[in-house]
């Protein structure tokens, strides 16, 4: 007989500490959904919360499927926040305070905010080289970074079918209906 596999979906918080993962136990594979670790901001400049979460995931599972945003997504917002960080480095007084307010948590290289439906979301983009280094630093030994296809927010906004699917998946995740979610994802994969 084949081994029993258990799937658990965990919904987190951008301000939770990495130690929050410890109560989950261990897994064969951890899946960090599209941008999950990339959407974890440093609450204080330079604290490295993304790396801390990756290291904690490495202690929970020997393998990780981590879907991140590459440097070729959201080029406009990335350039805007890169310029704000450049100006902030030389600013003092009121100018520094104004730029800090504009940056919010986007203080590290590659971090930025982007807008979807009049809401702003934090994100940080990484190159494949940087992501490989980050995963190795977290403790993962067998690292293979590849490009993948995912439905972007633009796709979701343009396609009523994708938007309905997105709402259905989120409703099942939010409702803690894991078996129904597994069934839906299995049917989609067939």
What pTM value is reported for the model? 0.66
Looking at residue 101, its pLDDT comes to 96
Counting Cα atoms < 13 Å in the Cβ hemisphere of 168 gives 13
Q: What would you report as the CA-atom Rg of the chain, rounded to the nearest whole angstrom?
A: 18
Instruction: Please name which of 96, 84, 106 lies closest in space to residue 14, comparing C-alpha atoms.
Output: 106
DSSP 122: E
Residues 99-111: tens digit of each pLDDT: 999 999 999 888 8
Residues 56-74: tens digit of each pLDDT: 989 988 888 777 767 777 8
- 123: exposed, middle or buried (Cβ count in 10 Å: 0-12, 13-18, 19+): buried
d(CA 99, CA 95): 6
């Amino acid at each position: 007989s084949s081994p029993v596999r258990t799937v658990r979906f965990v919904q987190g918080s951008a301000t939770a500490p990495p130690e929050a993962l410890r109560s989950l136990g261990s897994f064969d594979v951890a899946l960090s959904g599209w941008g999950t670790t990339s959407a974890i901001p440093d609450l204080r400049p330079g604290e490295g919360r993304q790396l801390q979460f990756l290291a904690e995931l490495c202690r929970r599972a020997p393998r990780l499927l981590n879907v991140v945003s590459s440097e070729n997504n959201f080029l406009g917002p990335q350039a805007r926040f890169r310029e704000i960080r450049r100006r902030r480095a030389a600013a003092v007084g009121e100018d520094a305070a104004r730029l800090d307010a504009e940056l919010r948590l986007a203080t590290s290289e590659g971090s930025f905010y982007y807008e979807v439906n009049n809401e702003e979301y934090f994100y940080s983009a990484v190159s494949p080289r940087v992501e490989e280094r980050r995963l190795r630093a977290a403790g993962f030994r067998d690292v293979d970074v590849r490009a993948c296809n995912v439905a972007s927010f633009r796709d979701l906004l343009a396609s009523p079918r994708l938007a309905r699917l997105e709402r259905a998946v989120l409703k099942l995740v939010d409702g803690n209906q894991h078996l129904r979610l597994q069934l839906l994802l299995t049917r989609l994969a067939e």
